[in-house]
Amino acid sequence: MAKITTLLLFLFFFTLLITTSLSKNLCHKDDKNTLLKIKKSLNNPYNVISWDPKEDCCTWVSVECGDATVNHRVTSLDISDDKISAQIPPEVGDLPYLQTLIFRKLSNLTGPIQPTIAKLKYLRFLRLSWTNLTGPVPDFLSQLKDLEYIDLSYNDLSGSIPSSLALLPKLGYLELSRNKLTGPIPESFGSFPGEVPDLFLSHNQLSGSIPKSLGKLDFYRIDLSRNKLKGDVSMLFGANKKTWIIDISRNMFQFDISKVKVAKTVNLLDLNHNGITGSIPVQWTELSLQTFNVSYNRLCGPIPKGGDLQRFDAYAYLHNKCLCGAPLQRCK
């Protein structure tokens, strides 16, 4: 009996093996045609050139297909690190099941963020980064309700941040760092409908003050460094938040830090190069900090003793109005 069962099992798996290897061509023909058009639009670059029309497109480099539930349609296109001189091909909008779209480290990828991306209604992950894209951060991204992750960093994007991005119900990560964005942080960013996304807006030319509404949110990571933001950001802090990273360095913020309580979860606290006044709160001795910098502000008074505050060298405290005590000189 056991022998027969083993034999049947063997036959079963053998048949499975044969059928799967025979029906290997899973690629949908529309997707294959579209991908070949994309290859042509990109001027047949090196990585992508290996796309062989005779092979199953689901096995092509840079391409991934979904399982049977989506008819093995193409769900991911990731073109990175290639010598491409082109714009984003409009045909990317004709891969209707795409969930992940990545163009990264392509210094000669130019032109705007392709408007046909608006057709990709299942898109969850969009990374167009380390390229030379120009034009605005498009408003149409807010129509792609499944978007969870947007990274448009290291480009030449200009214009202001569309306030409609705050309509995305599943957004968990928004990175627009290292562009030429201007204007304020939209008021709408104080009311994301879903979770509060990680927010990376550093190295732009953003101006104005931070909307008060952002104070209601509990950002896990927020980086506003190297902009031209001004005013008070004390509402971003709070003892009861779960913030991990907060970087507001190199802006024009002006507020009194003396009563600002920082969450114990904070690991990176960088306030350098602003116009922050007041003295460092004693509560900060309770923090476990990996990175800490309050240099180049207008702080005054003794540096509280204890916790991690003496673990950092003088460079974390230099160029203030009248800070004193270790690691700086003794207070008079």
Ligand X SMILES: *[C@@H]1O[C@H](CO)[C@@H](O)[C@H](O)[C@H]1NC(C)=O
Q: Of 55, 58, 54, which is closest to residue 74 (Cα–Cα)? A: 58
DSSP string, 214-271: GGGS--SEEE--SSEEEE--GGG--TT----EEE--SSEE--B-TT----TT--EEE-
Question: Of the listed pieces 32-40, 118-126, 164-172, 292-300, which binds ligand X according to CB under 6 A?
Answer: 292-300
> Greatest CA span in the chain, whole angstroms?
94
* Sequence-ordered list of residues with C-beta below 8 angstroms from that of 42, at least 6 positions apart, any chain: 48, 79, 84, 86, 89
Q: Does 290 bind ligand X (CB under 6 A)?
A: no
Per-residue x/- mask for ligand X, residues 241 to 280, rule CB under 6 A?
-------------------------------x--------
Stated as kind and residue range, the H or E segment containing 53 is none
Whichever of 120 and 126 has its CB closer to ligand X, that residue is 126
Whichever of 107 and 288 has its CB closer to ligand X, that residue is 107
Closest distance to ligand X from the beta carbon of 63 (Å):
22
Helices H / strands E in the chain, number of each? 2, 22
Q: Does 321 bind ligand X (CB under 6 A)?
A: no
Whichever of 130 and 200 has its CB closer to ligand X, that residue is 130
Positions 137 through 166 that interact with ligand X (CB under 6 A): 154
DSSP-based three-state secondary structure for 296 = coil
Q: Does 12 bind ligand X (CB under 6 A)?
A: no
Pick one of 19, 44, 85, 191: the residue that binds ligand X (CB under 6 A).
85
Pick one of 146, 184, 312, 325: the residue that binds ligand X (CB under 6 A).
312
Q: Rounded to whole angstroms, how far apart are CA atoms 5 and 155?
A: 61
Closest distance to ligand X from the beta carbon of 20 (Å):
39
Q: Rounded to whole angstroms, how far apart are CA atoms 155 and 143?
A: 22
Residues contributing to the site for ligand X (CB under 6 A): 83, 85, 107-108, 130, 132, 154, 272, 293, 295-296, 312-313, 315-316
